[in-house]
Amino acid sequence: MKIYSYIKHGYNLRPVEVELSLVPGIPKINFLGQPDLLIRESELRIKSALKHQGFKFPQGQQVVVNLKPSYLKKTSQGIDLAVACALLWKTGQVQPPQEGESAFFIYGTLGLQGGVQVPDDLEFILESPKGSQFITGEPENNVNINTWGLKELKGLQNLQYYPASIEPKYKKAPEIDESIKLSRPVAETLAVTAHGEHSIMLAGPAGSGKTTFAECLYQVLLQPDERTFRVSQLINKTLGFELDWRPYVAPHHTTTPLSMVGGGVPIFPGEITRAHGGVLLLDEFLEFKSEVKEALREPIEKGQITISRKGRTETFPAQFLLIGTTNLCPCGDLVPGQISSCRFSLNRCRSYSERLSGPILDRFQLMSYTHTWKPGRHDGVSLKEIKKWIQRGRKFNLKINGEERINSRLNKLQLEGLVDKGLENFMPEFGRSLRRKFALIKVARSFADIDESKEITPAHLEKAAQLSVFPFEKMRRLFS
């Protein structure tokens, strides 16, 4: 039988094995495996709890507790109970479980009188130990677990073991604003962005609907998978935010690189990690510092961010739907084909717009100029209708793939064969940018899903090119 407890590790709790041995010596508890002061202090709590509960601490023997793996520095709120249980079973003061019993996961805080409390961070356990037994204190109403709770340590003598179940619960999705109606082209852009979770840049003058688009996009997103939602909850809880649905993170353009990507000592996650599983809105994208924008390149591509500080490395998840909004010049009136409408000089506009050029712009899969959007009328498409399109596309995606695939995350191998060789004549020239070609295919696949088409057709490629290729070419030609 193996005994495990939990230590704080990044944004969640990580299991560690608790190995206990008795050797001749002064009666005390020695912890091995880089424990911090909080763990070492548990010796006195354990001794006091044993005494008040009618148990004895071994005389003429020292208790050696090895926390594995030993290379990790450890802090824990609930390792007390695991050590006390292991000691009582080892000394025979409580009948140990039968040999062959599954592993035990024990996490609880001991009071000096022997009472057992649920640690404050119990909810940070990302996954319940399936097929194993879990012991903690008596759960409170707001702790969603199904396991054995000890009111006090002597309750271990009458323990009935059964498997643990720690399950997250989804709360109500955001309400859809039924008053919003979108023109057909804008509705299709919204639907394909949400269905494939494609990153999108919205460029245009103030008041053209960029922020409204982002808010509508958040309302029509579908429920995330269970693990992604659970990770999002834990990350936000670590950073002091309560989360009941996908995160919607909109940092101000004065945000520093440290706040955006994370760092520090000890290493903490940033805003891009807080947006994991949800939406990251970078309003006034060109106003963000270049260091912040360039730092987004890795997480956009990989869905995670790796940070190294003082010999320690942490990898945090950062799989988000990125929405960038921007004006193309200081006055906000410059749009492709209407340069004369801007009141600033061409050189000043060029220097401002160049902040958008380069590798970071190429990370966006979609781009739309909002000055071309027509306002929705009473007969426009409602958000509820758009969400039905997305649900239909996701259901069809699951049907043809046998598993749910998010099109924006398809890798090179998965993209092969999605477009028939006969359709390559319908694809525009990409120059050196394979990323543009891949973006085109991914977006075309999203259009095909919504149309419930197993094959990508020329019409899907044409629609995809209008969002993933031609707008980027217009941007490059704007000041040429």
All structural domains of the chain with their residue ranges? 3-166, 181-477
At residue 446, the pLDDT reads: 94
* Distances in whole angstroms, Cα of residue 39 to Cα of each of 135, 241, 394: 19, 27, 48
Q: With 0-12 CB in 10 A as exposed, 13-18 as middle and 19+ as buried, what is 22?
A: middle
22: its two tokens: 């008795």
Query: H helices within 209-326, ranges in order?
Result: 210-220, 226-238, 257-261, 271-274, 290-295, 297-302
Q: Specify the CATH number for 3-166; select among 3.30.230.10, 3.40.50.720, 3.40.1710.10, 3.30.565.10.
A: 3.30.230.10
At residue 163, the pLDDT reads: 56
CA–CA gap between residue 111 and residue 327 (Å, rounded): 59
Radius of gyration in angstroms for the set of CA atoms belonging to the chain, rounded to a whole number = 28
At residue 372, the pLDDT reads: 78
At residue 415, the pLDDT reads: 84
The backbone region for 314, taken as left when phi is positive above 0, alpha when psi lies in -120 to 50, beta otherwise, is beta
Backbone angles phi and psi of 41, in degrees to 5: -65, -20
Is the CB of residue 81 less than 8 Å from the CB of residue 116?
A: yes
Farthest-apart Cα atoms in the chain, separation: 91
At residue 430, the pLDDT reads: 58
CB atoms near residue 309 (< 10 Å): 14
Residue 1 CB-half CA count within 13 A = 18
* Angle, alpha carbons 3-124-249 (nearest 5°): 155
| Cβ neighbours for 270, distance < 8 A, ≥ 6 positions apart | 258, 259, 260, 261, 262, 263, 305, 316
pTM for this entry: 0.79
Q: Pick from 406, 409, 328, 390: which is nearest to 189 by CA?
A: 390
Q: Pick from 370, 335, 331, 434: which is nearest to 200 by CA?
A: 370
Q: Pick from 202, 238, 163: which is nearest to 471 by CA?
A: 202
At residue 413, the pLDDT reads: 84
* Angle, alpha carbons 387-391-392 (nearest 5°): 115
Please state which architecture CATH assigns to domain 181-477.
3-Layer(aba) Sandwich (3.40)
CA–CA gap between residue 304 and residue 31 (Å, rounded): 34
At residue 142, the pLDDT reads: 46
* Angle, alpha carbons 356-357-363 (nearest 5°): 85
Helix and strand numbers (H, E) in the chain are 16, 22
260: its two tokens: 């955006």
Is the CB of residue 235 less than 8 Å from the CB of residue 274?
A: yes
424: its two tokens: 């390559």
181: its two tokens: 């109606």
Residue type, 430: F
pLDDT (tens place) for every residue of the chain, 480 residues total: 788 999 988 778 889 999 999 999 889 999 999 998 999 999 999 999 999 999 999 988 899 999 999 888 889 989 999 999 999 999 989 888 765 556 788 888 999 998 888 887 887 787 666 667 788 887 654 455 556 678 888 888 877 665 555 555 556 778 888 888 888 899 999 999 999 999 999 988 777 788 889 999 999 999 888 888 888 888 888 888 888 889 999 999 999 988 998 888 878 888 999 999 999 999 988 888 888 888 888 888 888 888 888 777 888 899 999 999 988 776 666 666 665 566 666 666 666 666 666 778 888 999 998 877 776 666 688 899 999 999 999 999 999 888 888 999 988 888 887 777 666 665 666 555 678 888 999 999 999 999 999 988 889 989 998 999 888 887 776 655
CA–CA gap between residue 84 and residue 207 (Å, rounded): 64
At residue 376, the pLDDT reads: 62
